[in-house]
Amino acid sequence: MTGCAVAAATVAVLLPYGGGGGGRTAPVAASRTAPGARDTAVRAPATCTDPEASLRPSTADGPAVRRVKERGRLIAGVDQNSYRWGYRDPATGELSGFDIDLVRAVAKAILGDPDKVTFLAIPTNQRIPALQKGKVDIVVRTMTVNCDRVRQVAFSTAYFEAGQQVLAPKGSPVTAFDDSLRGKKVCTAKGSTGESELRREAHGASVLTVPNQLDCLVRLQLGQVDAVVTDSALAAGQAAQDPSVRLVGKPFTTESYGVAMNLRDEDLVRRVNAVLEDYRRGGGESPWMLAYRKWLAADLKGITAPPEPKYRD
Amino acid sequence: MSRAQPDPGERRAAWREGLDRLRAAATTEPGRLRVIGAALAALLVAFGGVTAWQVTSRAAAADAVVTHSQPLSADAADIYRSLADADTAAATGFLAGGREPRAVRQRYENDISVAARLLAEAAAGTDADAPAGRQIATLTEQLPVYTGLVEQARAAGRQGLPLGGAYLRYASDRMREQLLPAAQSLYVAETLRLESDYDDATAWPWAALATGVAALGALGWAQRRTYLRTHRVFNHGLVGATAAATVTLLWLTAGHGVASAGLSSSRDHGARALQVLNEARIASLQARGDESLTLVARGAVLTAEGEDAYEAGYQDEMQRLTGRVVVGERHGETDTEGLLGRARSLTGGPGRERTEAVLRDVTEWQRRHRSARAADESGYYDRALPEVIGEKNSTGEMFDRVDAGLRQALVLEQKRFRTAADDGRGALTGLAAGAAVLALLGATAAVLGVGRRLSEYR
């Protein structure tokens, strides 16, 4: 993702600090000097040109991996509200989804048991503080890797690639993030990338912001808005809950999801990257593709392979 | 004014003629006596009339308190409570998912039907253009919208879609942003009407008291005049008139005093205690609703400070209930005593015992709530859920006890209100008619007494 610094700066200027939001919370200028970014083992690159580049995989135990092993449980910060990614099935009370499967794979690799996980449901704006305070070992919560965040937390290699996209009812005149939005009402989560993109270029649409991306589907079903802007991964979760809506047009941004960890936990970052290497391996029958087909393929079509990992060392 | 006015000269002449005749009459003793007799009779009749009028209007206001405005205020509180209760039951039932207990569902349905019935009744007794009428219209419009959203939430929840939770939060937002504020305004309007009826019922009948004192003064003066001129101590007629006026004045003072005391007691203890208990019940309902929604929303909605909005709401309501800490900005007031503390000092006897029991139950509720939150925040949602919606050892169990305790306290206080108000109303019984009869008797006696003196000049 080139031009990331420019994009981050633009977003930081455009976007006031918004409270919660289930969508991508855009980078915030003030958080650049956030505590926890100092005295770290893993130095963030001085100039941010490729935030997705992570540390080479390794299975050697360091202090962080030993901490998890001694505890006997992996503590993972996840979402409970993102259908197909991390959500609690009201019928069974069990957490499930693409992110949850990935957490279990990490637990299986480190502790030998995919169930030795304590899932902590953390709100969007608590993802970074929870890591910095050591409340969780890893955050797997549709979290976008970007220049601003790599100064505060360490990311694994990208495990998914998504982008902002438009969701509209089938048969709607809205066909993409373009002038077909003119005169329409568009919903997006407060503080999300979608909001800043709409603020930059609304294509003549009026914008309604709501606390959580899923609230947009409620408004759409009630006829209060004509379309939703959110990232394709979450939009797929919305489409999965309502067969009468679909993703339209192409994603108009690119966002990579990474597993976030504390900047100090270098060994854990390498270990998770090793898990991801295994996860991607196997072509069409890789664990990654199995998880994709299980959770996402129905509504997020056309993906044939996981994103390629990038390393910086 | 184009109409021809009477010639001013002619009018002045007529006026002067009358004055001259009066002056001529006043120069002779019989003439003076006639004037005095007429004035005394007029004063006594006026006293009786003003008393009857003022007492009747106070009795009507007291009747309005008991039969109209207090029940309407209580109904408005019930509408509010039913709506808040429905929202709480909807959230609790949703949390239980496919295993929604039948009792919770029935509670929700019952709340909605009670609210709808009371709204229809209130609409019948209220002018549609009055503020209360507009609130009733808003509530009647929004209630089916709300129930529709709750059903959508249930339907989505049963399919295992997180969308259900979003619908439930949206429904709850409608409830909190539109329905409950309208119900609150309705309650405030009805309670203002109650306060105004109380003010009317307990206002001192100054005009009656003043004419009474004036009549007694005039009678005293007339008797002293008679004594000075005739050296006769008693004029039976005037003495009788004085007695009648005195009895009326004492009866008025005592009757109104007792009525006022009874009504004031029903207001200070009954009606005020009922108001505070109703508010406490609503605060506990909202705390329970927030507690359930914390688990439904799962961190999806945050305050500006980044805390969970529903947990913050729960803490606010708990502070309103128990006080102790200064109440948050959300309510814009400082209240270190809390609603339950105020209810405790306003209630009496068994009502107070209930209130004290409620306070203990709330404390236990808060303890269990902390435990449930700790479990949820540690990631043990499975453990937190039964701690909130389970039948035993749950916050839900304590909420049910708090709600039942407040309901019992409300019933007891309603009785206390009715007893005190009825005692007050009883003190006015017969006063208006009695005052009228006594005043007429007094006027007759005064006329007879003066006539007796007058006959001495024939």
Under the banding of pLDDT at 50, 70 and 90, the label for residue A207 is very high
Phi-psi region for residue A134, left (φ > 0), alpha (ψ -120 to 50) or beta? Answer: left
Q: How far apart are CA A264 and CA A39, in angstroms?
A: 8
Contact A211/B at CB under 8 A: yes
- In 3D, which of B337, B341, B346 has the Cα closest to residue B356? B341
Residues 242-261 of B with CB under 8 A from A: none
Mutation pick from B173, B293, B301, B303 vs chain A, by most beta carbons of A within 10 Å, is B301
CB proximity A3 to B under 8 Å = no
Q: Does A132 touch chain B (CB under 8 A)?
A: no
Question: Which is more confident, A124 or A247?
Answer: A247
pLDDT tens column, B346-367: 887 888 899 999 999 999 999 9
Q: What is the DSSP letter of A174?
A: -
| Maximum Cα interatomic distance, chain A, rounded to a whole number of Å | 58
Identify the closest residue of chain B to A212 by CA–CA distance.
B300
Q: Which residue has the higher pLDDT, A20 or A152?
A: A152
Whole-number mean pLDDT of chain A? Answer: 83
Question: Is residue A134 a contact partner of residue A117, using CB atoms and an 8 Å limit?
Answer: no
Residue B438 and residue B97: Cα distance in Å, rounded? 74
Residues of chain A positioned with their CB less than 8 A from the CB of B152 = 221
Cβ-defined contact of A118 to B378 (cutoff 8 Å):
yes
Using CA atoms, how far residue B125 sits from A144, A240, B122, B183, B263, in Å, is 59, 49, 5, 16, 24
pLDDT digits (tens, 9 = 90+) for B278-324: 889 989 998 999 998 888 887 777 777 777 889 999 999 999 998 86
Q: Average pLDDT over chain B, rounded to whole?
A: 86
Average pLDDT over residues B242-257: 93
Q: Cα–Cα distance between B233 and B245 in angstroms, integer? A: 19
Which residue in B has a C-alpha nearest to residue A19's C-alpha?
B304
The sheet with strand A154-162 has its strands ordered as: A117-121, A74-78, A138-139, A255-261, A154-162
Residue in A19, A120, A218 closest to B302 by CB? A19
Closest CA to A77 of A133, A12, A152: A133
- State how far residue B368 is from chain A, nearest Cα, in angstroms: 20
pLDDT tens sequence across B428-450: 888 999 999 999 999 999 999 88
pTM: 0.76
User: What's the CA gap between A239 and B250, in Å, rounded?
Assistant: 82
Question: ipTM value of the model?
Answer: 0.73
Contacts of A20 in chain B (CB under 8 A): 299-302, 306, 309
Q: Do the chains contact at A215 and B382, CB–CB below 8 Å?
A: no
Query: How close is the nearest chain B Cα to the Cα of A184, in Å?
Result: 22
Q: What distance in Å separates the CA atoms of residue B161 and residue B138, rounded to the nearest whole number?
A: 31
CB-CB neighbors (< 8 A) of A88 in chain B: 162, 298, 381
Between chain A and chain B, the number of residue pairs with CB atoms below 8 A apart is 99
Domains, chain A, with CATH or none: 46-162+255-295 (3.40.190.10), 164-248 (3.40.190.10)
User: Partners of A260 in the beta sheet?
Assistant: A139, A155
Which are the contacts of B428, defined by CB distance < 8 A and separation ≥ 6?
B55, B58, B59, B62, B255, B256, B259
Answer for the pair A25, A131: CB distance below 8 angstroms, yes or no.
no
Q: Check CB contact of A163 with chain B, cutoff 8 Å.
A: no
CB burial of residue B98 (10 Å; 0-12, 13-18, 19+): exposed
CB within 8 Å: B306 and A75: no
Q: Which residues contact B330 (CB under 8 A, 6 or more apart)?
A: B316
| pLDDT at residue A26 is higher than 90 | no
Pairing of strands A74-78, A117-121: parallel
Span A61-69, average pLDDT:
94
Q: In 10 A of CB B111, how many CB atoms?
A: 21
CB contact under 8 A, B98 and A123: no
- pLDDT tens digits, one per residue of B322-348: 886 544 444 445 556 889 988 888 887
Strand partners, A245: A169
For B166, the closest of A20, A118, A218 (CB atoms) is: A218
Q: Is A31 on the interface with B (CB under 8 A)?
A: no
Cβ-based contacts of A81 with chain B (< 8 Å): 162, 165-166, 298-300
Provide, rounded to the nearest whole percent, the portion of chain A with pLDDT above 70: 84
- Tell me how far apart the alpha carbons of residues B174 and B141 are, in angstroms, rounded to a whole number: 12
pLDDT at B362: 94
